């Protein structure tokens, strides 16, 4: 893989290093900084003419700065005559604004996809998009990975009583995800019927499907942002007599009141991946961070060799 070059922005350099360690290649050198007025500076310090270039940069908080840094790195690689540029975006920000659900609002996920494409990316590699249709917003190929195998493997080897497990969908939109995990882990499936009484207040009304009393409840989601939905669901499970509650999510955005809500939720475990770096004050005693570097590294290797990505999930 002599013609493979992997660069990292500043959003998650530790993950980028773990990916290159998995692949057995060095992390390539790029100089990133700021001009006195705050504008981002970038210089690629290696020859990449005719090379296959991968730029690792999740667009996590600070979202706008990380997106701009990614765009500037793409432009730098394009102007340095890279053969192919793949934007590796483990977490894709602005994904929640994926449709026009009322008048005079933007579809920001499409806008960001356009920016990445117009900047010069030939391909995008991402993981657990908030809405699968975002893949279609890009006018270049998108390889969409899933953290489900990593999360499932954790629970299958965790020592948790899975024979007494119920896979809980925290809302109607996560039913398909819950069914997928139940297929691999086992257990029954329950759905929390979430009713919103106002823009500020969410009420989890009741549970549909499987019983949760005396059960080990496992909840899966693509991200935890302010943690309102997931902790509200946990409260409902406690009220219905769940024996244990384990929450898993791919992307630990954890903004606003998320940490305080999670502390009060009395979770037995909180399982996330390292798609987004966590500060020390965001790590609770029950937090488990799973590595996705092998999955991303294998996908990068397959893209570089023009091999199938879907085989990773068969």
User: What CATH number labels 148-290?
Assistant: 3.40.50.2020
Considering 194, 215, 235, 301, which one is annotated as catalytic? 194
Which residue carries 């999955």 as its tokens? Answer: 295
Is 192:170 a contact under the CB 8 Å cutoff? yes
Pick the CATH number of 4-146+293-313 from 3.30.565.10, 3.30.1490.190, 3.40.50.2020, 3.40.50.10490: 3.40.50.2020
> For 15-67, how does the pLDDT look when each residue is reduced to its tens digit (9 = 90+)?
999 999 999 999 999 999 999 999 999 999 999 999 999 999 999 999 999 99
* Cα within 13 Å of Cα(307), Cβ side: 9
pLDDT of amino acid 173: 84
Assign 288 a pLDDT band (cuts: 50, 70, 90).
very high
Average pLDDT over residues 297-305: 97
- Give strand ranges (E) for 122-239: 123-127, 142-145, 165-169, 188-196, 202-209, 216-224
Domain ranges of the chain: 4-146+293-313, 148-290
Residue 103: Cβ within 10 Å count: 5
CA distance linking residue 181 with residue 170, whole number of Å: 13
Sheet holding 123-127, edge to edge: 4-8, 52-56, 84-89, 123-127, 142-145
Tens of pLDDT, residue by residue over 191-250, are 998 665 554 555 545 788 878 999 999 999 999 999 999 999 999 999 999 999 999 999
**Mean predicted confidence (pLDDT) in 80-94:** 98
Mean pLDDT of 135-143: 97
pLDDT value of residue 204: 43
CATH topology agreement for domains 4-146+293-313 and 148-290 = yes
pLDDT (0 to 100) of residue 99 = 92
pLDDT of residue 178: 96
Is residue 245 within 8 Å of 227, Cβ to Cβ? no
Give residue-wise pLDDT tens across range 146-198.
999 999 999 999 999 999 999 999 988 889 999 999 999 999 999 998 665 55
Q: Give whole-number Cα distances, 198 to 35, 87, 195, 203, 229, in Å.
A: 44, 38, 9, 9, 14
Backbone angles phi, psi at 248, to 5 degrees: -130, 140
Q: Mean pLDDT for the chain?
A: 94
Strands lying side by side in the sheet with 287-290: 202-209, 188-196, 165-169, 216-224, 244-252, 269-273, 287-290
Q: How many CA atoms lie within 13 A of 129 on its CB side?
A: 24
pLDDT at position 314 is 72
- Is 194 considered catalytic here? yes
pLDDT at 1 over 60: yes
Query: Which has the higher per-residue pLDDT, 119 or 96?
Result: 119
Task: Please state, as a whole number, how many other Cβ atoms lie within 10 Å of the Cβ of residue 270.
Answer: 24
Q: Residue 101 — pLDDT band, cuts 50, 70, 90?
A: confident
């Amino acid at each position: 893989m002599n013609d493979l070059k992997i660069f990292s922005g500043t959003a998650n350099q530790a993950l980028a290093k773990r990916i290159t360690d998995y692949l057995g290649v060095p992390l390539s050198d790029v100089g990133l900084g700021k001009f006195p007025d705050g504008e981002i500076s970038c210089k690629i310090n290696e020859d990449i003419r005719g090379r296959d270039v991968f730029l690792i940069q999740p667009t996590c908080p600070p979202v706008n700065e990380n997106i701009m840094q990614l765009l500037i790195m793409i432009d730098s690689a394009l102007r340095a005559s890279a053969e192919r540029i793949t934007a590796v975006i483990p977490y894709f920000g602005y994904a929640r604004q994926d449709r026009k659900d009322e008048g005079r609002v933007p579809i920001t996920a499409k806008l960001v996809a356009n920016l990445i494409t117009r900047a010069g990316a030939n391909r995008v590699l991402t993981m657990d998009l908030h809405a699968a249709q975002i893949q279609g917003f890009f006018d270049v190929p998108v390889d969409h990975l899933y953290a489900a195998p990593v999360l499932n493997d954790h629970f299958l080897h965790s020592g948790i009583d899975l024979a007494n497990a119920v896979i809980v969908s925290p809302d109607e939109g996560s039913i398909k995800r819950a069914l997928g995990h139940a297929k691999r882990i086992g257990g029954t499936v329950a759905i929390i019927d979430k009713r919103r009484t106002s823009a500020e207040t969410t009420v989890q009304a009741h549970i549909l499907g499987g019983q949760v009393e005396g059960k080990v409840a496992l909840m899966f989601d693509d991200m935890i942002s302010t943690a309102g939905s997931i902790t509200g669901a946990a409260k409902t499970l406690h009220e219905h007599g769940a024996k244990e509650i384990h929450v898993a999510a791919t992307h630990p955005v954890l903004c606003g009141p998320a940490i305080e809500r999670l502390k009060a939720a009395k979770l037995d475990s909180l399982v996330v991946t390292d798609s987004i770096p966590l500060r020390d004050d965001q790590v609770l005693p029950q937090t488990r961070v799973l590595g996705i570097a092998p999955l991303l590294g294998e996908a990068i290797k397959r893209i570089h060799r023009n091999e199938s990505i879907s085989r990773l999930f068969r």
